[in-house]
Amino acid sequence: MKNLFFLVLITAFLGSAEAKRLEVLFLGDEGHHRPVERVPQIMKGLGPRGVNFTYTADSNCLHDGTLENFDALMIYANIGKITKEQEKGILDYVYGGGAFLPIHCASYCFLNSMQYVKLVGAQFKSHGTGTFSTNIEKPEHPIMKSFKGFETWDETYVHHKGTKDRNVLQTREGEPWTWTREPGKGRVFYTAYGHDQRTWSNPGFHDLVYRGLIWAIGEKNSKTFLSTKLPELVRRDGDLVPNYERRPEPIKVHQPLSSEQSLQHTQVANGIDISLFASEELGLYSVIEIDWDERGRAWVIETRDYPNELKPTELGKDRIRILEDTDGDGKADKATLFADKLSIPTGMCFARGGLIVQMAPEFIFLKDTNGDDKADIRETLFSGWSTGDTHAGPSNLKYGFDNWIWGVMGYAGFNGKVGGKDHRFGQGVYRFKPDGSELEFLGRTSNNTWGLGFSENNDVFISTANNQSSVYMPIAKTHYDRFDGLDQPSRLPGIDSNKKFFPITPNVRQVDVFGGFTAAAGHHLYTARSFPKDWWNRSALVNAPTGNLVYRAQIRPEGSHFVAENGWNLVASVDEWFSPIYTEVGPDGAIWMSDWYSFLIQHNPTPNQGRGGFDAKRGRGNAFESPLRDYTRTRIYRFTAKDGKPSEIFDLSKKKPKDLLRAIQSDNMLWRMHAQRLIVESGDGSTFTQPLKGIIKSSEPDEIGIAGGAIHALWALHGLGAVDAESIQAGLNHKSAGARRAAASVTPRKENFTKHLLKAINDPDHQVRKDVLLALSEMPPSEEVGNILFSKRKDNFILNDRWLPTAFQMACSRHGAGYLKAALAESSPANATASPKAVQIPKENFILNSGFEAIDGTMPKNWKARTYSGRADQRIVSPGRGRKGNAIMIESAQGADSSIHFDLKVKKRTTYQLSAWIKTEGLKTIRGGRGAQLNIHALPDQPKTRALKGDNDWSKVSLKFKTDDRGTISINCLYGGWGHATGKAYWDDIELIQIDAGQGPDISEDTESIVAANLVNHASSVQLSSTLNEIITKPTELGNKIKKMIKAPKVVVKESPEDELTLSKTHQILKLKAIEGLKFDKIKLEAKSGKPIAIIVSNPDLLQHNFVLGSPGSLEKIGSAADAIITNPKAIEMNYVPHSIDILAASKLLDPGTVVVIKINPLKPGKYPYICTFPGHWRIMQGHLEVK
């Protein structure tokens, strides 16, 4: 169902009796009450009491059969209208015996339905605000009996249109506040409590809602529910638990639970069942990875050496075993030892008839030669992986579509020789040939990395540990490295639009990025067909062991780019030992998960008195030593979809062609990849070539457009060296975009195949077009191709996309002679003056509902509210400017940084003027806030108007700005801004007009420069001579540019630290280090006024840091801005440096082992604070520069 996000559902007792947990469907919206933020609060309050919540913002759930799966419906939303079908659905549900809990603003929902108003019992009319408690009118009612009440800040609702049959339980100053109704066979519980987090986080509110829910489900259901008790979490004393969060008291360890007990505290997504496959009862310990062989058997890596006991070869305690369920009961009952005496193996992949294993400092190859399932061969493929930090090394080995082995690694790095070439890299994604003869680094990530996954169309996704749970590799570094002048990203782009995770216990322990991902691991997509369709090739599974959960990121394409949206949790647990670290689709189409099951999962930093509460010792693997690291328990679970059909299980061990050709068409990518690998490893082109061509032609796309058989058949042919014109034509003409992409990627890089790619150059799919252009960028140079590409230089399909312009420039550079020949033919004669063309510039206002007259619920239509930090109230008020119409208002008593925003598409590289009228009443700024203003998100410098504070009558503010290549912006009516404000601010009559024609989406000039540079630097003398002849024959402006390039000497620029001796002649030299424990090595630096300063900042620590220098007295202001930036999707691109007028200098994000020089102009005497603004660091990692 559209936009239905499942938070938590269905938990089963695996004991003698099944527990009854209550299932509540929570219907919210995207309005200013932010119900999506309230769900985790109520879940933490009621989840431990046996109540599960499923969240949706789609009101179609009221009539599409969804309600049948729930014990109760809760509404917390201001949805303006309800359809007749939806109205009938909710009435039938409640009158038929369902429980309904409208909360707070639900009394101002579905304004077109009087039947709904009667169902609720009244309608909201008006409100003020205040801190209050309510009077209990019916103390003997089951809901109110023994209820103590509570005090909270909230809106003081007044209602009208009340029904006479309400049973009023609470009042506030005589106004009915909480009541019940009993329409038909159902029950309704309403309370006016619940405007924001102050009430939703209140234990008294949790208790009130719980009591209302128990009553609403009816006596029979409540009796069944209340008879069930969850296993108690028994706390113990005496353990040293790191208190990084600075709680008043450190969390105490609770006793470990059995797998059965643990599952009773565990909640999984709607329509999904969970079952145990294996545990410590089979002798398992600390399973770090699961993989499945060509027979469908589960292979597991078990480690006791991780993280601190790395041992020499043949002395390790770790092993690889094969687990089998021989009696078909769904549980493993047989374990076969394949290899032992390993030490910290972190990944494995089947290849060459054996197993490739990551085990820093080496990658080894293990093989069973006699069929007894025990490794007889053990050889080193290559070495060079650092062992300095065992959680920052290589992981997640995967057999790729391209028949190479892929993996990721953290900041520990690689420094070694492979295939006769020296390689040095770290923190990113790489691939190597299965025989270890060649290695390539493909892209750098932003921080420590432990997740890799392929889509069924061969898109590459990655997860990093800290605050970037989804990353996409659009174009490999190896493509960029072949060309000059391209803007190669320093890091692969993050695509995670949601930065939070959603634990269901308040007892979450983290080092930094509190409330977000601090130990994300894995990024496998759901690539089978046993689950519901909205999982297929879209749901990425990201383990978050510090949150005791597995997060579900929903991958959505945007042209040749992707966005990862919040899909809530696959699973989450109240059991604080529950630690998912590896989750992937198995051979049966189920999702399999390894639960590390250890109370302590955090690797570093090492606790000390100031950070963690006690002094701990760091071990050899750079993890702090603690007896809380448990090695005696581990669990493997399987998640299956209700009514889901399992994938067919194959036995491909005999490598029969008929079986392999069937398996390569399986609906489960695991089997397709095994079949592809075995076909390629057979080297038997005579047997497989024709059948594989037949599969390409006969494979039909499934319901989501995937033709897996055709895709893998093309890559199998590529691995056999059997790709020909027939297979390429069949692939490029396929109905499935994925098959067309595969055909472009496997096209032989030979001249006679270029014509096939040219036929696909206008493909309607962005990803196909990208792969075609990348393929052309590797074909032999051709004037014909260059001329054709020149004709596409203003193709909006290319120019309006995120990555197509780059792929286009690569292809143009490869075929530069032909491109420039066509460009020279159209270039203006030298010294010619072009006459300007008259361009009609539209003058309309691009802001919809600019005067806020159209209303949707309690907010203006097309506008949305958001709060970055603090607490604010956003609403429509009247009259607006000129004592007519509406305006919007933001108000805060305690202080907030908030906005009401409007998102729109704009022309690229075009100048606009933005204006509005603003009024303020008693507006004060605190913590670095600026006041009330307009600003624009999604542009690099976030342009902003002047800010108003104090008391101001309606005043006009405006600014001019120029858009970049992104094409979308967000107009913010901003309150506070890079800090907090209190008081009231109003906005009205927002106007955005275009004031120049703009350059439009045209990259011709940039492309010509890049192509010319590559031609000059890389073209053959024959190609260069041909271009020079064109220049001499017809002198043009472009020709003159190229001649200058040819005459200019080539300069090789080396990146090296600036010479300190030379620098000291002009600057005062200061040195600063980031050291372990979230500290700078100096809390005070000294310098003299009147002379430039150079601060050499180095990062020998194993975490990322930055350096931010502020103006005197700005520490709290900048720190508050740093806190607010955490949830910004662009935070990493901004190096976690917030926008603040108080920041005088800032570094980029420093990876471990890097150095930067910060040059500062002469400063006046004073104390200048410096901090690290990486999430969670600034409150500890700070010092000051004293200038005298």
User: What percent of the chain shows pLDDT beyond 70?
Assistant: 94
Q: Which fold would CATH assign to domain 259-641? A: Neuraminidase (2.120.10)
Residue with tokens 């130990």: 519
* Average of per-residue pLDDT across 1144-1170: 89
406-410, 431-435, 910-914: range with lowest mean pLDDT: 910-914
> How much is the average pLDDT of 178-183?
98
Cα distance between residue 913 and residue 400, in whole Å: 49
pLDDT value for 1054: 33
Six token digits for residue 282: 């089979």
Q: What is the mean pLDDT of residues 835-847?
A: 68
The three-state secondary structure class of 527 is coil
State how far the Cα of 673 lies from the Cα of 577, in Å rounded to an integer: 34
Q: Among 319-323, 530-534, 778-782, 1144-1148, which is the least confidently predicted range?
A: 1144-1148
d(CA 447, CA 513): 13
Fold of domain 660-780:
Leucine-rich Repeat Variant (1.25.10)
pLDDT score, position 1175: 86
Whether the predicted pLDDT of 998 surpasses 70: no
Q: What is the mean pLDDT of the chain?
A: 90
The predicted-structure confidence for 363-391, as pLDDT tens digits, reads as follows 999 999 999 999 999 999 999 999 989 99
For 61-80, what is the mean pLDDT?
A: 94
Give the pLDDT of residue 929: 81
Q: Where are the domains of the chain?
A: 20-226, 259-641, 660-780, 855-994, 1060-1187
pLDDT score, position 16: 32
Instruction: Annotate 682-692 with b (16+ C-beta within 10 A) or e (fewer).
Output: beebeebbeeb
- Angle 51-514-1097 (CA atoms, 0-180°, nearest 5)? 170
Confidence of residue 1128 (pLDDT cuts 50, 70, 90): confident
pLDDT of residue 1025: 64
Residue in 1053, 1139, 1122, 1057 with CA at minimum distance from that of residue 1094: 1057
CB 449 within 8 A of CB 520: no
pLDDT > 90? residue 529: yes
Q: Which of 1121, 1137, 850 is nearest to 971 (CA)?
A: 850
**pLDDT over 50 (residue 195):** yes
Q: DSSP alpha helices (H): ranges in 612-765?
A: 657-663, 669-682, 685-698, 708-720, 725-732, 737-746, 754-759
**Domain boundaries 855-994, corresponding CATH code:** 2.60.120.260
**Residue 839 predicted with pLDDT over 70:** no
| Averaged pLDDT, 780-808 | 94
Pick the closest to residue 33 from 92, 106, 142 (CA basis): 106
H/E element, 212: helix 203-216
- The pLDDT score that the predictor gives to residue 1034 is 67
Number of H helices, E strands in the chain: 25, 56
Radius of gyration (Cα) for the chain, nearest Å? 32
% of the chain surpassing 90 pLDDT: 69
3-state secondary structure 934-988: EEEECCCCCCECCCECEEEEEEEEEEEEECCCCCEEEEEEEEECCCEEEEEEEEE
- Order of all β-strands in the sheet with 561-573: 266-268, 561-573, 549-558, 539-544, 521-525
- According to DSSP, residue 612 is labeled B
Residue 1045 banded pLDDT, cuts 50, 70, 90:
low
499-527 tens-digit pLDDT: 889 998 889 988 888 888 999 999 999 99
Q: What pLDDT, on a 0 to 100 scale, did the predictor assign at position 1052?
A: 34
CA end-to-end span of the chain: 65
Categorize the per-residue pLDDT at 7 as very low, low, confident or very high, splitting at 50, 70 and 90.
Answer: very low
541, 566 contact by CB (below 8 A): no
More confident residue, 1002 or 158: 158
Topology classification of domain 20-226: Rossmann fold (3.40.50)
Highest-confidence range of 98-112, 217-231, 860-874, 885-899, by mean pLDDT? 98-112
pLDDT over 90 (residue 709)? yes
Given a cut of 80, is residue 1031 above it in pLDDT?
Answer: no
Helix ranges (DSSP H) in 217-322: 219-226, 259-264
In this predicted structure, what is the pLDDT of residue 941?
65
pLDDT at 1047 over 70: no
| Helix-strand-coil split of the chain, %, nearest 5 | 25, 30, 45
Cα–Cα dist 347/398, whole Å: 9
Bigger pLDDT: 1058 vs 400:
400
pLDDT band of 650, cuts 50, 70, 90 = very high
Pairwise pLDDT comparison (354 vs 961), residue with the higher score: 354
pLDDT score of 292 more than 90:
yes
The beta strand positions in 847-949, using DSSP E, are: 855-856, 859-860, 864-870, 873-877, 887-905, 911-926, 931-937
Residues 851 and 864: their CA atoms lie apart, in Å, by: 14
Whether 259-641 and 1060-1187 share one fold: the answer is no
Cα torsion angle, 622, 626, 632, 634, sign: negative
Please provide the CATH number assigned to the domain covering 1060-1187: 2.60.40.420
The residues, ordered by sequence, that sit 6+ positions from 1073 with a Cβ below 8 Å of its Cβ are: 1080, 1081, 1082, 1097, 1098, 1099, 1100
Does the structure show a pLDDT above 50 at 987?
yes
Q: What is the mean pLDDT of residues 914-921?
A: 95
CA 285 to chain CA centroid, Å, is 30
